[in-house]
Amino acid sequence: MNSVREGYEKHGVEKYYELHKDDYENPHEYTIKKLLVKAKEEWNIHGSILDLCCGSGEVSNCFNDCEVEGIDPYTKDLYEAKTKNKCSSMTFKDIIKEGLNREYDYIISSFGMHLCEESMLPMLLYQLSQSSENLIILTPHKRPDCNGSYFKEKSRMKMDKVSIIWYKKH
Ligand SMILES: C[S@@+](CC[C@H](N)C(=O)[O-])C[C@H]1O[C@@H](n2cnc3c(N)ncnc32)[C@H](O)[C@@H]1O
């Protein structure tokens, strides 16, 4: 698979994930795992977890001792096959419209929420804040910045250009 960014440029996000819904892989998976293992211990991540934009389970597979569910509109089948966890196929727009139907100790989103249109991000964050006190983002970009009316940054770490940021509801 070419780089994900090249794929977005060539096809657009939606078409890219329709094409790769069965073979999506993240070339940064090793870094994601290292960051999550460290964060899990240092930030004491435990309990129920929603893996938002769950891809093929890059985050979920680091939490085999927790109760984990996924959400992803394109890779639901791949995720369920690889993790054996339940997955919903809601899009950002669905979450904004309907909210999540339960509470989680943590919502974790890796390499996903920057795909939410900037203008929709506050509404998405509002809905996430109704379902969890803790939001953790892994991203190689400056976006998404989740500081604002609903969440405030508590801590962050960085490894190989990937940041992990822990936001608390406020
Ligand atoms: C770069 S992948 C990240 C996957 C995984 N979390 C990881 O760290 O590798 C982005 C994910 O966002 C999902 N996605 C794309 N558009 C979306 C949308 N409108 N709403 C929710 N998820 C979306 C894709 O299906 C894809 O699995």
Do 139 and 114 touch, CB atoms closer than 8 A?
yes
* Mean pLDDT score, 117-132: 98
User: Is residue 111 within 6 Å of ligand 1 at its C-beta?
Assistant: yes
Determine the distance separating the centroid of ligand 1 and the alpha carbon of 55, expressed in angstroms: 6
139 band by pLDDT with thresholds 50, 70 and 90 = very high
User: Is residue 7 within 6 Å of ligand 1 at its C-beta?
Assistant: no
To the nearest whole number, what is the mean pLDDT of the chain?
Answer: 96
Encoded tokens for 164: 């992990």
* Mean pLDDT score, 20-27: 94
Is 131's pLDDT higher than 60? yes
Strands 162-169 and 67-71: unpaired
Spell out where the chain has E strands. 48-52, 67-71, 87-88, 106-110, 134-139, 151-159, 162-169
- What percentage of the chain has pLDDT greater than the value 90? 96
- Name the residue of 9, 56, 72 whose CB sits within 8 Å of the most ligand 1 atoms, as the mutation to test its pocket: 72
pLDDT given at position 2: 56
Domains of the chain: 26-169 (3.40.50.150)
Nearest CA to ligand 1 atom 14: 53
Place of tokens 């435990």: 46
User: Is residue 70 within 6 Å of ligand 1 at its C-beta?
Assistant: no
139 Cβ neighbours under 8 A, 6+ residues apart: 110, 111, 113, 114, 162, 163, 165
Ligand 1 atom at shortest distance from the alpha carbon of 72: 22
User: Is residue 69 within 6 Å of ligand 1 at its C-beta?
Assistant: no
pLDDT digits (tens, 9 = 90+) for 37-58: 999 999 999 999 999 999 999 9
Nearest CA to ligand 1 atom 20: 91
Return the C-alpha torsion angle 138, 141, 142, 144, nearest 10.
Answer: -60
- What percentage of the chain has pLDDT greater than the value 70? 99
pLDDT digits (tens, 9 = 90+) for 65-105: 999 999 999 999 999 999 999 999 999 999 999 999 899 99
Determine the distance separating the centroid of ligand 1 and the alpha carbon of 61, expressed in angstroms: 16
pLDDT given at position 167: 98
